[in-house]
Every structure is written in structure tokens, then in C-alpha cells.
Structure 1
Amino acid sequence: MLFNLSRPPTALRRSTSEFLQLCRQLPSARRALYVTSRSKTMSEPKVISVEGLSSSEANVSGSLRNAPRVHPPALMASVAILALLRSESNKFPPSTIIIEQYRPPVDRHVVGLISEGESPEQTAIRELEEETGFKASGVVQSSPLLVSDPGMTNANMKLVTVDVPFPENLEMPAQKLDPGEFIQVRIVELAKLRAELQAYERKGFVIDAKLDHLASGFELAEKLRQPKSST
């Protein structure tokens, strides 16, 4: 599942240059422990802004804050990817991809923004290969327009499920990351996804809501398939 698991910020603070220098020196597994912290007033925000809204519903008026995208795309803002890894000869159980990454508030999304002239499905296949190295053979299905937090922002996304088949055994390809990207790739069996996320939580990671929803749905489907015990 190409959704991130993030460690919360620690007490250690570095400037941007020190942070990048540390990242180059540290093993990738430890890079998530070092974060930057900078207070800066932005005159022109690149991704989101904050605006006040007034509302009136059922004769009750009030105000709220909205964080819209500054330049919202016409249709989709971002793509989430569910990669289905499978062996055509049943050498390994059906699995998926999850990633570990600390995500500071910068103009970057783990699964990438849709490029101009590119469909969400094309974005999903391209970003999957860039972020993880895995090549999808095609798209299994695409979701409709989705919003994660419509009470706070107009940012939207699309979930694209892609097929990643292997003739026999699973092979780990090399990532094609951009400079400054530090992403740990993990392969997890779908049947063990819930247990893996619980283990991450015990380690202090924050679970992406979409990833947890997938695990909950898969777990519930497995329970519903089990025959009811007779009393």
C-alpha cells in the first residue's frame, strides 16, 4: 500500500542544511528520526492557504477555517496507489507495498501530484516505479473522486489499484527516488497487514488513515467469510 507510516517529530532539531547533511551520512533506516523545524511567515503559500468561511444552517450561523489548495487542479489533486503483488505460480501469498517516511510540511506528496496532461492511472503507474521500483502491468480499478477531510480542505485524491505480477518469486527492484527523498519500502502479506500496522503503532509510528481503512476492510471481509459456529 503506497501510503506512509510516519514517526512523530522528536526533540532533535536541525537546520535544513544540517538535516540534509545528516541524511546523507545516516543509514536510511535512521533518517526518519531527524526532522527540521523552522518558523517562517509565507507571503505566497505554494500548496494550501487558510481562509475564513461563514456558514448558516438550520438558523444557526457560525464561522470556520478552511485550508484550500492554492491552485487546485481541475479534477484530481493526488493519487493513492494500492499495489497488488502476486505470484503467477503461487510462490508467495498476495501482498502489497507500504512505505516508511517522515513527511515534513513541504510541497511534496509521497505518491506524487498529477502532472499536466497525465491521467490519474498514468500517474499511479509512474509514481509506483519511481518511489518503489516496482512496475505495474496494468490498472485493476480506479476509485471515484475522494476527499479525506472535507471539513478542513478541498484537497482530493483518487485511489488506483494496480497489478504487479511475478512469474515465480518476489524480487525487490531498485528505487528511482528524486534528490532529497528518503523512503523505506516494505512488502507485507495482505493477510498480515493488520498485525503489521499494530506492530508499527507500538514502535511509535503514525498510520495513514487510508492504509488503516484498507486493513480494517480486509480483516472484516475475512471474518465475514468464516462460517458461523453452531451453538
Structure 2
Amino acid sequence: MKKFEEKTIQSNRLYEGKVINLKIDDVSLPNGGMSKRELIEHPGAVAIIAITPDNKIILVEQYRKALERSLIEIPAGKLEPGEAPETTAMRELEEETGYTAEKLTKIQTFATSPGFADEVVHLFAAEGLSKATNGAVLDADEFVELMEVTLAEAEQMVKDERIYDAKTAFAILWIKHQLSIEN
């Protein structure tokens, strides 16, 4: 048994969408009580730490409707059904940035909002970057601006809350830590 496990008594799916599903579960609590849990099912995503040969961090700026603002983020994208995270990461890196990588190294997998969603993000570091021959190839509903910034500039963007999402803030901390180990 898992510590503090909540056993599902009944599950009611309310919505099935392109990106998420929404369900409400009736659960029994560890103390014998009952409760409801509103849950989002998500297929998962990847995020890529990409640093150019001249030590610039590749970021993208895009509008995020849920927050009603533009954010600066590391390249990322949703897993497609049956697709391995490494495959998604290579595809998203090229589509969003116009770069390809010789190698990906898995850094971490983490939950984004475990209080209500099952989404996990697989974070990779891209190595051996080079420009793709056809450049960035965005989805029809995707509008991004490519940025290449120094670590100091990225850290300032975190302080200014231009970098506002957890995966990108985590990536900047990871980069800073890696650079301190190498120096």
C-alpha cells in the first residue's frame, strides 16, 4: 500500500479533448472518509535545454492563453501517442528552434501540477547542436520567437518574471549548477 493512498471508488470522465481529459474521482481517504478529486489527464511532455556552441541558451517566447501573457521558455512540446520522449524532444527542438542535436541526455522527469494533473515533463540536455537545413517548422497554431541569451540574461529574466514557468526556471538553475561544476 502507498502511504496516504486514496482509493478510487468511482471515476466519471467529463471531457475528452485534444490535449487533456477531465475527470472527477470519488475516493476513500486514509481515515475512512470520502472526497472528490477533480483530475486532468495529460499525455506528458518534453523540454529541452539547448546551448549553442557559443554558450547561448536557446529560448522561445510565446503567448500562453491560460496566463494571458507571453512567456519565455525552453523549447518544449507534448508527447504524441506511442512516441518515446527522446523522439519528441528531437522533433520539438527542430520544429521550434531550427536546431538539431547529435545527442540528448536525460536530466530529470518531474510532475508539473501533481495536486490535480498527471502530466510529467521529461527534461533533456541537447548536445552537439547545429542549424537544421530547413530551419524552424512551427505548427499552424504556434507562434514563437527564437531567442539566444547568456546565462546572466536568463537569470535576469527569471528575476523579472519574464521566465515564469517551473520547467524553464529549473533549467536555468541546472545550467548554472553545471557551469559551476565545470569551472
Q: Give TM-score scaled by structure 2 length.
A: 0.69
1:185 corresponds to 2:143? no
1:159 corresponds to 2:123? yes
- Which residue identity is paired with 2:170? H
- State how far apart, in whole Å, the 1-side matches of 2:86 and 2:101 are: 11
Match of 1:113 in 2: 78
Alignment: residue pair count: 160
Match of 1:68 in 2: 40
Secondary structure at 1:102 match in 2? strand
CA 216–162 in structure 1, closer or farther in 2 if over 3 Å, else same: closer
**1:194–1:219: 8 Å Cα contact kept in structure 2?**
no
Summarize the alignment of residues 3-152 of structure 1 with structure 2, pairs less than 5 Å apart. 44-46=16-18, 47-57=20-30, 59=31, 61=33, 63-69=35-41, 73=43, 77-86=44-53, 92=54, 94-104=55-65, 111-139=76-104, 141-143=105-107, 145-152=109-116
Q: CA deviation at 1:129?
A: 0.7
Match of 1:213 in 2: 170
- State how far apart, in whole Å, the 2-side matches of 1:221 and 1:163 are: 14
Q: CA deviation at 1:131?
A: 0.9
For residues 35-85 of structure 1, the C-alpha deviation after alignment (integer angstroms, 9 at most, x for no partner) is xxxxxxx8644412041443423x37353533231xx65xxx211111122
- State how far apart, in whole Å, the 2-side matches of 1:225 and 1:81 are: 20
Identity among equivalent positions (%) equals: 29
Secondary structure at 1:85 match in 2? coil
Secondary structure at 2:89 match in 1? helix
Q: As a proportion of its length, which structure holds more strand?
A: 2
Secondary structure at 2:40 match in 1? coil
CA 224–177 in structure 1, closer or farther in 2 if over 3 Å, else same: closer
- State how far apart, in whole Å, the 2-side matches of 1:121 and 1:150 are: 23
- State how far apart, in whole Å, the 1-side matches of 2:177 and 2:107 are: 20
Secondary structure at 1:178 match in 2? coil
CA 179–218 in structure 1, closer or farther in 2 if over 3 Å, else same: closer
Match of 2:159 in 1: 198
For structure 1, which runs of at least 5 residues remain unmatched after alignment?
1-41, 87-91, 227-231
- State how far apart, in whole Å, the 2-side matches of 1:112 and 1:220 are: 24
Secondary structure at 2:93 match in 1? helix
- Which residue identity is paired with 1:68? I
Secondary structure at 1:82 match in 2? strand
For structure 2, which runs of at least 5 residues remain unmatched after alignment?
1-13, 67-74
- State how far apart, in whole Å, the 1-side matches of 2:150 and 2:180 are: 17
- State how far apart, in whole Å, the 2-side matches of 1:225 and 1:165 are: 19
- Which residue identity is paired with 2:29? S
Larger-gyration structure (1/2)? 1
- State how far apart, in whole Å, the 1-side matches of 2:48 and 2:65 are: 21
Q: CA deviation at 1:221?
A: 6.5
Q: CA deviation at 1:125?
A: 1.0
Q: Give TM-score scaled by structure 1 length.
A: 0.56
Relative to structure 2, which stretch is displaced further, 211-220 or 128-137?
211-220
